Amino acid sequence: MKAIGLGLALLMSFPVAAQQVIYQLDGKDYQGYFAKAQGTAKGSVLLIHDWDGLTEYEIKRADMLAKLGYNTFAADLYGKGNRPVETQAKKEETGKLYNDRDKMRRLIFAGINESKKLSQDEMVVMGYCFGGAAVLELARSGEAPAVKGYATFHGGLTTPDGQNYNKLTAPIFVAHGGADSGIPLTEVAELGVQLEAVKANYEIQIYSGAPHAFTVFGSERYQEVADKKSWHTLIDFLEQNLHP
């Protein structure tokens, strides 16, 4: 076990080969981030950002995944240079996409298409907070049969009127904080009911005492135990569903 731990520590210390990627949708520039897998790629991950937009947090997560052998593309759903700082601005940006689900899906697919240009491996789509809600939007659409799995961390869980999981084509992993005051456990339970009704392959983990955004390094809400447990489960999820 010590040798394995030392090997992993050495791997994580190596720098990642990465690049900023400019791509377009409807004539507008978007700026993603691609972290190339170290060693032989085990598969691909599309990472969708939280309501801050694509920032250093998503870049760090992408690098972490790349060091574990996954080509990771962090997509941009806001547009190049649009990284809101004030809470009201963040609400406005997410509100635009919550109110235009078609555009949200097209933005996700733009990220998927760009990721495929960089890596042809099988893909899992994951996201944090707003990005988690976007992941479930894609999962419900049934429009991404090539996606091998969906993972959401402290993300929005409600299903819009007129939508359901009848077209779900891949497993779902949901990581949720038991003390999340913004997304109560009643919404977690309702999601479970919906997924069970369609006989989905899913796993929901609830971490006691963990607030919303419990994975965000350096924040007052960060909870190390919940972060590490959910991260380890994600790695297991990737290994189970991606087959290089």
Report the pLDDT value the prediction gives residue 9, as an integer from 0 to 100: 47
- Average pLDDT of the residues in 5-12: 44
In the DSSP assignment, the letter for residue 48 is E
Interval 167-176 mean pLDDT: 97
- What is the percent of the chain where pLDDT is above 70? 94
- Arithmetic mean of pLDDT, 144-156: 96
pLDDT higher for 10 or 105? 105
For residue 15, what pLDDT band results from cuts at 50, 70 and 90? confident
pLDDT bracket for residue 16 (50, 70, 90): confident
pLDDT value, residue 217: 96
**Beta-carbon count within 10 A of 184 CB:** 12
pLDDT at 188 over 90: yes
pLDDT at residue 104, rounded to an integer: 98
What confidence category does residue 134 fall into, taking pLDDT thresholds of 50, 70 and 90? Answer: very high
Which are the contacts of 63, defined by CB distance < 8 A and separation ≥ 6?
16, 18, 35, 72
Residue 148 CA to residue 22 CA, distance in Å, equals 25
Cβ atoms of 24 and 75 within 8 Å: the answer is no
44-64 burial, b for 16+ CB within 10 Å, e for fewer?
bbbbbbbbbbbeebbbebbbb
**Residue 13 — very low, low, confident or very high, per pLDDT cuts 50/70/90?**
low
Give the tens place of pLDDT for each residue, 226-241.
Answer: 999 999 999 999 999 9
Q: Provide mean pLDDT across the span 161-170.
A: 96
- Residue 129 in this model has a pLDDT that exceeds 80: yes
What average pLDDT is seen over the chain? 94
Structural contact between residues 77 and 49, judged by C-beta atoms closer than 8 angstroms: yes
Identify the pLDDT of residue 244: 65
Phi first, then psi: give them for residue 128, nearest 5 degrees.
-115, 135
Q: Is the pLDDT of residue 243 over 90?
A: no
Q: Which fold has domain 16-241?
A: Rossmann fold (3.40.50)
- Range of weakest confidence among 12-21, 43-52, 207-216: 12-21
